[in-house]
Amino acid sequence: MENLDTLITGEEIPSDNFDNVCCKYYLPLELEKLDSRIRTRAELRSVGRALKEQAEKDFDLYQRLFCKGSFDGSFGIEYIGGEWKTIHYTPPKKMLARHVRGDYWIGLKSPWYPIFCTLDIDNPGDTKTAIEAIKRKLGLHEKQIAAYTSPSFFKDDLSHSGSLHLFIKPTFNANPCTQKLMRKILSPLIQELHYELYPQEKKVCRLPFGRNQHIVDINGVVDFDSGWQKSLREVFGLIPVPLEKFPYQKENRRIPINPILDVSPQKNKAEEILHTGLIEYGTRHKITGLLARYFYFRNWPPDSVKTYIRQWLNEKHNGFSREINRGNWTLVNKEIDNWINNTYQYFEQQKIYPTITHNLLGWVTNLDIKLIAEIFPGNYINQKRLFKLISYYRPRQQRGYVPIHREKWRKLIGNRGEREFKRLLHEKNLIDVRDSYQVRNYSKAYRLNRLSLASSSEMLKDENGRTIQDYKAALRKVFISPRNIISATGISRHTLYKK
């Protein structure tokens, strides 16, 4: 049985081969800072452990960006020299690690709120010309698009030779957008270029950074030395593309959106019901709503949820549904459609996102909360501001310097006090700024100094696995009792209980 660390990093860490440890398998950004004169076994082991930890954190980020929240139940696999096959179970972590190692290719169905979308270009002719064409068509600059070779790039078949994948990170009004909205806006724009747009709800998309999937620069030159970690940083650092700038036909919603009073995922209850089925009369309608919320928070596309709930009710109604016992599937299917449509539309309207999307928008760690209380003791306003800043910074921490637009500063800090708060951060040596920016393209970038790199396992979460993005809720989670909160933060009891 192969060790998972071996699959992620390529091989067990040798204790006496510095070049193999640093160059061939990891390719971390920190490599440039290392002293090439390191040669003792103790130093090599220390470097090896640090690089192994970095690789594990990068692989964790890779899963959160491309694998978590994907439609569970089946995936595609293509062996070298073979054809795509469908496997009907969720791919384990080991198989994803084998993909980035290059043993075979894995393809997954897209979640409802994908982080990236991919343009698949077959036989583009000149690589540089193809990249420039899509940049002109969508009005992108080089920091908004990343190009990679498709495995068919290296085939002799002229119909696929030179095939590329282009990654962009779409947003809509600075918020995540659904795959349906991505297709609706982008498909007409790229149709005349004969490119294929992913995600597609019913088709798997090949995961990136596997065998023969290399970075292509803006001049069309392939970087054959790019490993999956370097590629991950390249894509993760992409500046979002605002889809609202493109013309599109707004959808006329015919179904009235009813408010949903209970918006919690109720994960444990839903999973228990999925296992047992219906257990009493008069519960089918309510349970359909519960499962609609459960699968929405798991980031499933609505059509997949409708199909799954129909099959589940058919198999596990256990005789406790009068309408199903009568064979009245027309009414049952209509109620399922209404529940799913209303749930998805209501959550989209209220900007309540699936768990994986919600967690990628912002998170903090237990240590971050204690640091906030230490830096601004007794100052609730600045504690709350720093909480929001760290929460925004954490999901993007791999970049080092994170671009933060002036409008984003105002949303985080408020319209007043932005300049004074920045001054305080500089005085306390909490923040460094990279002044390079380009109007309408990318903003100034900032780095928070006293934060160590954290993994997703350190996220502060509630009982449903969602990251806590409210400061008082985070205080209650970390310090438990009001007395401990007041003692640690220095804020007054009145402020703590004030809504």
Mean pLDDT value across the chain: 81
pLDDT: which is higher, 346 or 265:
346
| Tokens standing for residue 18 | 């510095």
Q: Do 85 and 166 fall within a single domain? A: yes
For residue range 433-468, list pLDDT tens digits in order: 877 666 666 678 888 888 877 777 788 988 888 899
What whole-number distance in Å separates Cα of residue 5 and Cα of residue 26?
A: 12
pLDDT value, residue 86: 86
Q: Which residue range forms the structural domain that includes residue 62?
A: 4-66
Query: Is the same domain home to 177 and 137?
Result: yes
Looking at the structure, do residues 83 and 196 belong to the same domain, yes or no? Answer: yes
> Rg for the chain (alpha carbons), in Å?
25
Q: Which of 221, 182, 179 lies closest to 202, judged by CA?
A: 179
Residue 6 above 60 pLDDT?
Answer: no
Q: Indicate if the pLDDT at residue 146 is higher than 60.
A: yes
Q: Are residues 26 and 98 in the same domain?
A: no
Inform me whether the pLDDT recorded for 187 exceeds 60.
Answer: yes
pLDDT value at residue 386 = 92
147 and 61 in a common domain: no
Q: Are 377 and 341 members of one domain?
A: no
pLDDT mean over 231-259: 75
Q: Is the pLDDT of residue 7 over 80?
A: no
Global pTM value: 0.80
Half-sphere exposure of 497 (CA within 13 A, CB side): 6
Closest CA relative to residue 20, chosen from 29, 34, 9, 33: 9
Note whether residue 58 is domain-resident.
yes
pLDDT score of 442:
67
Do 368 and 236 fall into the same domain?
Answer: no
Is residue 61 included in any domain, yes or no?
yes
Q: What CATH number does residue 128 fall under?
A: 3.90.920
SS3 state of residue 261: coil
Residues 95 and 203 in one domain: yes
Q: What is the pLDDT of residue 316?
A: 92
Asked whether residue 255 is assigned to any structural domain, the reply reads no
Is 99 a residue whose pLDDT tops 50? Answer: yes
- Count of domains for the chain: 4
pLDDT value, residue 437: 66
Q: Is residue 259 part of a domain?
A: no
**Of all residues in the chain, what percent carry a pLDDT higher than 90?**
16
> Which H/E stretch holds residue 305?
helix 302-316
pLDDT value at residue 24: 37
Contact in structure between 76 and 85 (CB atoms under 8 Å): yes
Same domain for 424 and 489: yes
pLDDT band for 287, please (50, 70, 90 cuts): very high
Contact 87, 75 (CB under 8 A): yes
Q: pLDDT tens for residues 27-66?
A: 343 444 455 555 566 766 777 777 787 788 888 888 888 8
The beta strand positions in 388-450, using DSSP E, are 402-403, 431-434, 445-448
Alpha-carbon span 144 to 136, nearest angstrom: 12
Q: Are residues 437 and 491 in the same domain?
A: yes
Structure tokens at 478: 């970390």
Regarding whether 289 and 233 lie in a shared domain, the answer is no
Whether the bond between 199 and the residue before it is cis, its omega within 30 degrees of 0, is: yes
Mean of the pLDDT values across residues 480-494? 88
Query: Does the residue 335 lie in any domain?
Result: yes
Best mean pLDDT range from 19-33, 93-107, 189-203: 93-107
Q: What mean pLDDT is predicted for residues 388-406? A: 85
Same domain, 240 and 94: yes
- Does a structural domain hold residue 257? no
